[in-house]
Amino acid sequence: MFLAGTRDDIVRWLPPPQWEPAWRSEAVREIENSEVGRVGAWGEDTIRTVYAGAALYLDTILRCIQGLADTLTPQTTPYVVNAIARAAMEAGAQLWWLLEPGVGARRRVARSWLARASGARYLDDTVHKIDPAAPPGTYGETPAMVRAAIDGLGLSYSERQLRNGKWSRSCEGETLPGYTARATAFEAAVSMSAAYSI
């Protein structure tokens, strides 16, 4: 009952079809940005896209909470609860990193594109393994598509593959922290401590 009630309370926070930030909030200042990229002024859509992505993370957390509420029984093993809670924690940590107060429009957009670049690279690697004949973009954004969008916004971006096969990327001086670093920062921000490490 508590989990379902919590989920219902948070659903009311989700934006309506056209999200409007609170009056005089940081988000209002970001939407009113004067950033200009190679393809012209950013306008409000660039920032609204970031906040729409953030709403997807929040929705993921809500689905995890609902999943916990649906699976908790006296017979439920801790494995199920731990897996769902971990998924919620990772989504929450990503959401916190993306919406961290005080980073401003340019850094927030850079963070959003870092997450998209990471996702595009993972998708690209997976597609090459399971469907190497698929034309680029068949399953979603490619690294080249992400790079073109970042360049169009006039953001500085670099990406390189490390010797261990992992990727290092930077956008406007921002780097995408790993899962443990994001979770640790999130735990500190909400004054919570947990044993979380990958």
* Local confidence pLDDT in tens for the 198 residues of the chain: 566 777 777 667 665 656 678 888 888 999 999 999 998 999 999 998 999 888 889 889 989 988 988 888 888 888 888 999 999 999 999 999 999 999 999 999 999 999 999 999 999 999 999 999 999 899 999 999 999 999 999 999 999 989 998 889 999 999 999 888 988 888 888 876 655 555
Predicted local confidence at residue 155, as pLDDT: 97
Map residue 135 onto helix, strand or coil.
Answer: coil
H-helix segments, the chain: 2-11, 26-31, 43-71, 78-99, 104-130, 143-152, 179-189
Q: Which two tokens stand for residue 51?
A: 């906040």
Q: Which two tokens stand for residue 73?
A: 């029984």
Residue 157 neighbours by CB under 8 Å, 6+ apart: 113, 117, 147, 150, 151, 169, 170, 171, 172
Predicted local confidence at residue 14, as pLDDT: 64
Provide the whole-model pTM. 0.85
Asked if 183 and 89 count as a contact pair (C-beta separation under 8 A), the reply is yes
